[in-house]
Structure formats: C-alpha cells, structure tokens
A and B are shown apart, each in its own frame.
Chain A
Amino acid sequence: MSETRATEPALLGLEGLTKAYPGVLANDDVSFAIRPGEIHALLGENGAGKSTLVKMIYGLVRPDRGRMTMRGAPFAPVSPAAARAEGVAMVFQHFSLFEALNVAENIALGMDQPPPPRELASRIREVSTAYGLPLDPDRRVGDLSAGERQRVEIIRCLLQDPKLLIMDEPTSVLTPQEVEILFRTLRKLAGEGTAILYISHKLEEIRALCEHATILRLGRVVDTCDPREKSARELAEMMVGEELHVPVREAGAPGEVALELCGLSMPPASEFGTPLRDISLTLRKGEVLGIGGVAGNGQDELLAALSGESLAPAGTIRLARRDISRLQPNQRRALGLLAAPEERLGHAAAPDMSLTENALLTGAVRERLTRRGFIDWAGARAFASRIIEAFDVRTPGPEVAARALSGGNLQKFVIGREVLQAPDVLVVNQPTWGVDASAAAAIRQALLDLAGRGAAVVAISQDLDELMEISDRFTALNEGRLAEPRPARGLNVEEIGLMMGGAHDLEASA
C-alpha cells in the first residue's frame, strides 16, 4: 500500500520553512511532504521546533521564509479559519477546550459555520458513534475525563471532514486501552484517505502507528526514517543526537516501614478536582513506589496530603510509625518527609525569586539556613550552589531567577533541592514532565540513587515507561482510589491499563 502511495502527489508539501523568534531559530529550512492517507510522525525533544512548525501549517504563525503547498497549489493560511477551509484540522495538546461550556458549544467554537444547535447535537452523536468515540453533546466539558475531553477535540475535527489531521501529543493523558481505541480511529481515518501528522515523544506508540517519521532537532530536520524498522532506543538517539544514558539501580533490600497510609480520604482540591477515597499503602525504606494514572485522578490531592499542604484526618498518615497527619509541611520536613510537586513554576518554585531564595524556601529547616528568625544568606547560597553543581543545572549562578531557567534545568534544581536534603521519604509528582531526555535520565538516576541510600521514594507520574524503569512496585490512581500495589517487574501493559481504570466507558462501543 505504501508503494502505491509513494507515487501519489503530496497532499501537503513544506519547502525550506524558516521561523525565527528573538534569540532562537525555531525552524530552520524545514522541508518534507505528507501524502494522502499517510500517518506521518513528527519527532523531536521539547524545543526542537515541532509546535512552531504545526502552528505555521495551522495558520497561527507565519513563516519568515519558505513555502507550503496543498495539493500542488500554494498554501499560506493567514488564520486558523483559512487553514480549516483548506481541510487542515488540529487536535491540540492542551489549551483548546472550555471547561465551563458544554460539548456542543465547544465543538461549535471550532467550526466556521456551525449548524443550528439541534442539528449539531445529532451530528455529534452520529459521527462520534461511527468512530467508536461516543459523546453526549449536553455534558459540561469540565465534568469529563481526560479521554473524553480528547474525544471532543477529535470529533470537532472530524465534523469538518479534514484532509489533514494534526495531532499534538494526543496520548499523554490516555490509558493504554484508550490509546488503542484512538489508534483504531486514526487507522480508519487514514484508510479513508485522511493524512495524519502525529506529534509525540512516545516512541513505542510511533513505532506502532506511523509509517514515516521526520525527526527535528534544534529546528532542523536531522533525519527521516520508517519508525517500524527502528527500535525505540534508536529513535530516541536520533532525537537527542547522542547516546542515551539508561538509569541503573543499585540493588538494596527493602528495609523497615517508612511511610504508612491507612484509609486516607480527602475532599477535592478545586472545583474540577478529584477526592481521595480510602487510600491505604505501606512503603518500605529503599523502595521506589510508582503511582501511575491519568491526570486528574487525585494525583495533586495525594501529593498535597503527603506534603502537608492539606491536612489529612488524624491517624491516616504515619511516618516511621509516628502520626503526622495533622502536621504542617515544615514539621514534616523536619521529620524527613519531603515533596516536589508537579508544577515547576508557581508551585515547586517561586518564578521571580532567585535560586538561592528558592533553595531556602524548602531547605531552611533541614539545612538549618535560619538562625533565630534571621536568614543565613551565605549558607543558603552555598546550598543552592551545591544543588547546581551536583545536578548539573545549567545557569550562570544561584542569583538567577527561577523563571529564567529552562524547564529541564529548573526541574533538576527542584528535584535536587529535595534529594540533597537527604529525606527519609521523598514524594515527587511528574518528576520529568516536559524535560528533555538527558535531563530526565539524570533525574531518574538521582531518584534511584536516593532509594539505594535507603530512602523511600513515591514517584507519581503519567509516564508509564518512566515508572516501569524506576519502580519496585507499581500502583495507579483511578478516580481517587489507589489500586493494590504490585511488583513492577513482569507487569504487562494490559494489566497496567486495567489498574488505571481501563478504557472507562468505551469497551462497549469499541
């Protein structure tokens, strides 16, 4: 089938696309072509220029140089509406649904000439059922699961009958079962002649789905390949441009109980949050417990309950057999329980404060950086410098504001700050989210080393590959409930998916 396609004229052709932003060349002379019915992967690390490129195709950004063609004719969309008129549709990674509006309203906003509400509702039902992605047009998007929200985006695109469908990191919030359903839908679309430009950094998925890949690094096309013929590791090294360091762990036998949760229940942290329901758990010294699950199933609430940001009912959290449920974060830090929340800017670090000040904020207690209420600036600076050195944080120095660091460097700083305080229990949420591959490997190695030294680590993450790499035991959060932890070794994708809640309500229609 691909042989016959090779002779077909390209649907979308890119020639020498270049786009510069102040200080960065986001895209540098990018050329490739997509044929009808082809599933084409766009691979690259964060900052490789993938999103700038698709924004140009979708009319959100105009290229400085180069040209695009659509079915041989010049194509230069000045707005998303113009791109949609040419048959380009896009499913965004985030930023494109309105939580307070219902499904039909969300879909109408993505169409240029939406039909009257009643007709639209019936078309949504019809198309969504036809593609195995059932949707109720009247439900409020804020009440939908991540997988259902993505269906809204896909249906919004399908109603326009697109010729080219761009998907930006579509599976980052899906369970393995939901990914399978999505892939089935995409293959069906491709079979009907729709070209799909698929952006992801999940290499196994690209190998399973795509027949052609273009690899970007620092804004340039560095390679193209057929991903089905490469291993995930080869693909990763093409993206990074260097050999990848795979984290190794020193074996350490699990020791005595470090942390215990018994029947922990918590109300949701926000209007669209999830309550924690009756969570029980035992964690031993030297152990890494991986907690998977789709975003919004109680991860933030669990981190807040453990770190002390929200106080839990008495008797539900014990650190080394001592009840800490009603203790404040600093009291917990003093006892050896540290946490690194998900959001780097604004939660784990104060964006406009210097690295020294940020180091002080969580390190004051254990590193003794305050004396009688006065700050020991020399000590704080030394602590910040120690983190920078030990974790290879690329920054001019500790006086730089947290905001000025790249995501990967700030994340290394945030994790390093906690690891260097030698915690007995460390809780991390999304430790490598949006971090480039080499920084991610360094962070995972640091967590493993910490466990090797006898600390207990709770790693909450949506990256299953990461959890499989570092965890001794694996469990998953699903609607605020924690599955029974199981040894990570030997778990297969099917079992993991079921622990994450399976495909929610999708099985029947799939």
Chain B
Amino acid sequence: MDLTSINPVLLVASLMVAATPILLAAIGELVVERAGVLNLGVEGMMITGAVVGFAIGVNTGSPALGFVAAAAGGAALSLLFGLLTQYLLSNQVATGLALTLFGLGLSSLIGKPYEGIKSPTLQKLDLGPLGDLPIVGPILFGHDPMVYVSLLMVLGVWWGLKHTRAGLILRAVGENHDAAHALGYKVVRVRMAAIAFGGACAGLGGAYISLVRVPQWVEGLTAGAGWIALAIVVFASWRPWRALLGAYLFGGVTVLQLNLQAAGLAIPVEYLSMSPYVVTILVLVLISARGRHGAPGALGRLFHGTG
C-alpha cells in the first residue's frame, strides 16, 4: 500500500464535490424540519431530481437548465407530499417513506431511455489567478458553480432563519403550530413553502450526482444519499453550519475510503465502502447520548386548524 499516493489537497477538493449533493439535500430538509415537518422522502426527491435533471441536460445540452428542471421536479414531488400531509392530514412518516419508494420507481421509468448516455457537465468556474494559488487555489477556487451555490445556500438559510421575519415565523410554526395559528400565522401555507423548498434542494442535490459527480444515469444512482442527508440534519441539531460540517465529514470519509481503496489498503473493500455510513451512525449515537437535541417542538406532529 502506498499512502503517499494520496494528495491531501486533492482530497479536500474532492470531498467538497462528494459532499455537495448531501449538503444541498440536507439544507433543504433542515428548513422543512425547522417548519415542523418530517419529510422522509428526501431519497425519492433526490433521485427524481437526478433523472429529470439528467434528461433535460441531455436533451437541451445545458446542464444549467438540467439543474433548474431538477429543482422543479423535486419541488413538484414534494408538493405531492405536502398535499397529502398538510391538507389530507396523512401520517408524515408513512407518506415520506411512500414518497421515497414512488420516487425510486418513477426515476427508473423516466431514466430507462437514458441509460449509458453521457451528459454534458458543468465547467469548473474560472476564477483567474485565484485558482492558481498554491493549496488554497485548488481547494477553494477550483470548483464548479454548484459547489458555491450550496455554500451560499447554507449562508442564506442561516441568515434567513436567524435574521429575517420570515425565518422567525417559520421557526415559530415549527416550534408550536397551535401558538402560531392562534397568533394568526398561516401554518399550512408556511409549511407548504418549506416543503417545496426542501424538495427543490433535494432535486438539485440529485442532479449534482447525475450531472457532475458521476455524470451519467444508472438506476438507484443516489444510493442512499437522501437518507444520509436526513441523518445529517439530526447530526446538525437543526443548525445550518453544523449541517455543512456533517456533510463535509461524510464526504471526507467517502473520499478518503476511495483513496484508501486505490492505495491498496489491506482491508476488504466492503469494509471501506461501509465506513462513511458507520461513521454517520456512530456520530448520531454519540450526539443522541448527549441528551439535548434541539429538535423543533412540533416536528412530525399533525396540525389541524379549527375555525
């Protein structure tokens, strides 16, 4: 085995790419959960976004249009979840699981004609001399636009939740929907907006896998990334910056184990492949053991307004 073949600078740069789909999906789900809704359909929305984005990307030749379509596709699927849970008051857990199964099936149906095709992909952003800086250049300034979009999204969500009135109302709705309703806020409307935002983010995350990371379409492409995103929201104690940390931690372990595989570490490949998931589970257990989680007070509870 040859550990010197692992270049730390490239490792960090590629972990950002590996973490971006999960980060996008997690930041969307974080907003949904802060509004008090538990949408377990992230995986289904991601893979729907992945296939829709890929199909549009291939047909138009524009990956940017692919991302827009992926966001729209993810949001459309999430609004189905919203309709069922917010207006028809179905159980959020069961509906979310059904949404994942539905998304997986729908994506393989749509994706059938696109198997084996290569898609146009995003070009790396050319930031001129910044990209030529040693170490910092390749890590910070050598990425495609979506990596920066995901980071801006974390910043925006953090700022929005903390400093805007809309964010305050969203948090209030997620904390105690009865009180928010009594004060005259439209609980269902706020939640539908959050759900749609979460769906759009999950769609973007999925499209990042099919258009940038892989970039082609195979059935079951997301391979559980949506579930990891859900775990990262808990890991993050529902805080945006910690979600970034969690996503990069997961991305880091993923990239590291790939590098270790390539370097020929004398551990069976299967163990290395499972390591990111094992690390996620361990971190979640450690966090839960601390007791205080900071989960939104109304998370997963049905709201039935009267009058």
Contact = CB atoms under 8 A, between A and B. Distances in A.
A95 B179 contact: yes
Interface of A: 55, 59-62, 79-81, 84, 92, 95-101, 105, 108-110, 114, 271
The 9 A-B residue pairs whose C-beta atoms are closest, nearest first, are A80-B184, A61-B307, A95-B178, A98-B175, A96-B179, A95-B179, A79-B184, A81-B184, A100-B175
Contacts of A79: 184
B176 A95 contact: yes
B307 A55 contact: yes
B175 A101 contact: yes
A271 B172 contact: no
Interface in B285-307: 291-292, 294, 296-297, 306-307
Given A108-B168, A271-B292, A99 B183 contact: no
B236 to A, nearest CB: 15
Contact of B182 (A96, A99, A101): A96
Contacts, number: 59
Given A98-B176, A109-B168, A109-B172, 9 more contacts: A55-B307, A60-B182, A95-B176, A96-B183, A98-B180, A100-B171, A100-B296, A101-B171, A110-B183
Which among B172, B185, B297 has the greatest number of chain A C-beta atoms within 10 A?
B172
A25 to B, nearest CB: 15
Interface in B182-218: 182-185
Contact of B307 (A60, A81, A92, A96): A60
Contacts of A61: 306-307
Contacts of A62: 307
Given A55-B307, A109-B172, A98 B182 contact: no
Interface of B: 165, 168-169, 171-172, 175-176, 178-180, 182-185, 291-292, 294, 296-297, 306-307
B141 to A, nearest CB: 36
18 contacts: A59-B184, A79-B184, A80-B184, A81-B184, A92-B182, A95-B179, A95-B182, A96-B182, A97-B179, A98-B171, A99-B297, A100-B296, A101-B172, A101-B175, A108-B168, A109-B169, A109-B180, A110-B183
Nearest to A271: B292
A60 B168 CA distance: 21
A108 to B, nearest CB: 6
Contacts of B183: 80, 96, 109-110
A96 B307 CA distance: 17
Contacts of A84: 184
Contacts of A81: 184
Contact of B294 (A55, A97, A100): A100
Nearest to B292: A271
B268 to A, nearest CB: 43
Contacts of B297: 98-100
Most B C-beta atoms less than 10 A away, residue of A61, A100, A110: A100
B9 to A, nearest CB: 41
Contacts of B291: 271
A79 B307 CA distance: 11
A92 B178 CA distance: 11
A60 B172 CA distance: 18
Contacts of A59: 184
A98 B172 CA distance: 6
A79 B183 CA distance: 9
A60 to B, nearest CB: 6
Contacts of B185: 109
Contacts of B172: 98, 101, 105, 109
B193 to A, nearest CB: 17
B160 to A, nearest CB: 14
A111 to B, nearest CB: 10
A99 B307 CA distance: 25
A96 B172 CA distance: 10
A132 B6 CA distance: 67
A374 B172 CA distance: 48
B179 A105 contact: no
Nearest to A56: B307
Nearest to B163: A117
A99 B219 CA distance: 45
Contacts of A108: 165, 168
Contacts of B175: 98-101
A271 B293 CA distance: 10
